[in-house]
Copies of this chain bind each other. A is one copy, B any other.
Amino acid sequence: MRTREECLRSDAADPLAHLRAQFALPEKVIYLDGNSLGARPLAAMARAQAVVAEEWGGDLVRSWNKAGWFDLPARLGNKLAPLVGAGADELVITDSTSINLFKALAAALHLQAQSAPSRKVILSERSNFPTDLYMAQGLTEWLGRGYRLRLVDSAEELPGALDEDTAVLMLTHVNYRSGYLHAMRVLNERAHQAGALTVWDLAHSVGALPVDLRGDGADFAIGCTYKYLNGGPGAPAFIWVAPRHADRFCQPLSGWWSHAAPFAMQAEFAPAAGIRRALCGTQPVVSLALVECGLDVFGLTDMAAIRHKSVDLTELFIALVEEHCARHALRLVTPRCPEARGSHVSFAHPAGYAIMRALIERGVIGDYREPEIMRFGFTPLYTRYVDVWDAVQILRDILDYKSYSGTAARDAVT
């Protein structure tokens, strides 16, 4: 696709093109930040009205049963499961990504403590998303007794760093900054050969590419629903436990929703059977209910088709940037090989922050990540080929005319 017309033709031939109509997208915006906050499914407005007006306002407390609020974490979990290669009743939507990571890490350490108590290291990458590292730090520091987090500086070092002390290999499947996609199956195998368990953060892969947790032999996984799944701002996250660990899954955030009989009001904790023991307390129902609207769009297609278009979009973006912005000091941070990346592309530039501000002012919404990195997310459900073309032309304009300025105070952008 070397012209705008070719991009338009690709859109006309795109089997996913009709899904864009499922979303409310503002005019005059090219939204390339669905990897941070997914766009709003059209259905979300009516769902919000129904939950707030009818379920909360009309049926009041009866909605816990009548509207199925109690079952939302498990029911929506089952709707999400096929997207990550999980089976029925293996996944719940609940709490935040950070909290779920804490549960998964704690459960993995607990399993190791039963069979291999000398394994006390959580192994990860220094480039992992910070909250993953912070949660692991918090957990290991509080456990004490030699538990610790060990970080390597590159993905290549991971296999060699798996040793007799490693309890858990904790990785984010697709790196939030570089877009690097780990080979999940290979790393699960390497970890298991070395006696370690794996905890995967799917924040930047769920809904962006096919994930096969069972098939690839993962042990635990968590992830968020507000990026590629379009669940709404800060929508509750998910946690998955491999069936082989389900009966021994044990985590310290054992609130009443994880109890075998929450309404028996017993003073002693007894864990629920299955994945419900990964729940904790009462969930934010309005935010949780909206997650379904995003999941329903995935029911209209499949992850193979999404991945196919995702690779097309990222390939096109890289090619066009390198062709049209060749004169400028842009450095591709994301792997050039599509098999090694997720659905966003990052370019580094010394003035990355200012350039991204200028792009946003021109209606091209990506985001910025320290240091120097401009991130562009491509979401096959609603990103068009022509959007990629137009975004690159605006980027080129900004670079050619240096129509960005200075080092304004840096806003927080997730």
Report which A residues bind B (CB closer than 8 A): 24, 26, 29, 31, 33, 36-37, 39-40, 44-45, 48-49, 51-53, 55-65, 69-70, 95-99, 102, 106, 126, 129-131, 133-135, 137-139, 141-143, 151, 177, 224, 226, 232-237, 251-259, 262-269, 280-288, 290, 360, 365, 367, 369-370, 410-414
A75 to chain B, nearest CB (A): 15
When distances are taken between beta carbons in the complex, the residues of chain B under 8 Å from A40 are 52-53, 56-57
The closest CB in chain B to the CB of A110 belongs to B142
Q: Is the CB of B284 within 8 A of A253?
A: no
Q: Could you say how many copies of this chain the assembly holds?
A: 2
Partner of A413, one of B61, B130, B283, B410: B61
| Bound Cα distance A235, B138 (Å) | 26
Given known pairs A48-B49, A130-B267, A284-B287, the reply for A253 and B61 (CB within 8 Å) is no
Q: Is the CB of A256 within 8 A of B98?
A: yes
**A–B complex contacts, Cβ < 8 Å, 20 sampled:** A37-B61, A45-B52, A49-B49, A52-B232, A55-B233, A61-B365, A64-B414, A96-B280, A96-B283, A98-B255, A98-B282, A99-B99, A130-B256, A130-B259, A134-B259, A137-B269, A139-B252, A142-B143, A224-B282, A233-B285
| Bound Cα distance A31, B102 (Å) | 39
When distances are taken between beta carbons in the complex, the residues of chain B under 8 Å from A53 are 24, 40, 45
| Bound Cα distance A52, B265 (Å) | 36
| Bound Cα distance A400, B251 (Å) | 49
Question: What 11 additional pairs, Cβ within 8 angstroms, besides A40-B57, A134-B258?
Answer: A44-B57, A95-B99, A97-B282, A98-B253, A99-B99, A130-B259, A137-B254, A138-B254, A232-B286, A233-B284, A285-B287
A328 to chain B, nearest CB (A): 24
Partner of A267, one of B39, B126, B412, B413: B126
When distances are taken between beta carbons in the complex, the residues of chain B under 8 Å from A290 are 52, 286
A314 to chain B, nearest CB (A): 19
Q: Is the CB of B65 within 8 A of A413?
A: yes
Q: Is the CB of B234 within 8 A of A284?
A: yes
| Bound Cα distance A394, B59 (Å) | 20
When distances are taken between beta carbons in the complex, the residues of chain B under 8 Å from A255 are 96, 98-99, 131, 134-135, 138
A243 to chain B, nearest CB (A): 23
When distances are taken between beta carbons in the complex, the residues of chain B under 8 Å from A126 are 267
Q: Is the CB of A142 within 8 A of B106?
A: yes
When distances are taken between beta carbons in the complex, the residues of chain B under 8 Å from A29 are 60
When distances are taken between beta carbons in the complex, the residues of chain B under 8 Å from A413 are 61, 64-65, 263
